[in-house]
Amino acid sequence: MKNVLELLCIALFLFSCKKEIKQPKEELIMYQSSEMAALMNAMYEGNMTVKNKILEGDSIGNFPDIYLNIHDAVLTDPADRNASFEAFSKLYIQNMQQVYSGSQDSLKQNFNQAINSCIACHETTCRGPIPRIKKLLIK
């Protein structure tokens, strides 16, 4: 019985020592956003800054010309640049220009109108960012 127990312990010890087989490492591929995704992230950050300035009663400065790149930036899916996208992007630019050129009394309303134009566009294509965009609205 003692010999069987010793053999069993030795067998367990030998089988538990397993040589590790190294797998080749997978090359990590970093996500690279499209020009449009990068632009929209920059526009989000800029609009968050504008929202905070409006809430604090500070001057919002001048219209950022970088927003005009919305007409040229390469989209993640180029097929999304259609008549609807073009119409919404023009509307967004018009609304944002109104934010910067309108009266102080209508600043919140104009800002929310511009943000709502973002939401309207994203309801037709690329719905994912809508909850984030809604955080820009001034209540």
pTM score > 0.85 for this model? no
Q: Does residue 2 lie within any of the structural domains?
A: no
Q: Does residue 108 lie within any of the structural domains?
A: yes
Which pLDDT belongs to residue 28? 74
Q: Does residue 27 lie within any of the structural domains?
A: no
* Cβ-based burial of 123 (10 A; exposed 0-12, middle 13-18, buried ≥19): exposed
**Res. 132 pLDDT band, cuts 50 70 90:** very high
Evaluated on CA atoms 93, 96, 101, 102, the torsion sign reads positive
Into how many domains does the chain fold?
A: 1
Q: Does residue 26 lie within any of the structural domains?
A: no
Which pLDDT belongs to residue 19? 56
The boundaries of the domain holding residue 95 are 35-55+63-134
Q: Does residue 82 lie within any of the structural domains?
A: yes
Neighbouring residues of 67: CB distance < 8 A, sequence distance ≥ 6: 43, 46, 92, 93, 96
What is the rounded distance in angstroms from the CA atom of residue 70 to the CA atom of residue 49?
19
Q: pLDDT digits over 77-112, tens only?
A: 999 999 999 999 999 999 999 999 999 999 999 999
Q: Does residue 77 lie within any of the structural domains?
A: yes
Residues 26-54, mean pLDDT to the nearest whole number: 91
In the chain, the percentage of residues whose pLDDT exceeds 90 is 73
In the chain, the percentage of residues whose pLDDT exceeds 70 is 82
**Res. 14 pLDDT band, cuts 50 70 90:** low
Q: Does residue 116 lie within any of the structural domains?
A: yes
**Res. 32 pLDDT band, cuts 50 70 90:** confident
Which pLDDT belongs to residue 121? 95
Q: pLDDT digits over 59-71, tens only?
A: 999 999 999 999 9
Q: Does residue 129 lie within any of the structural domains?
A: yes
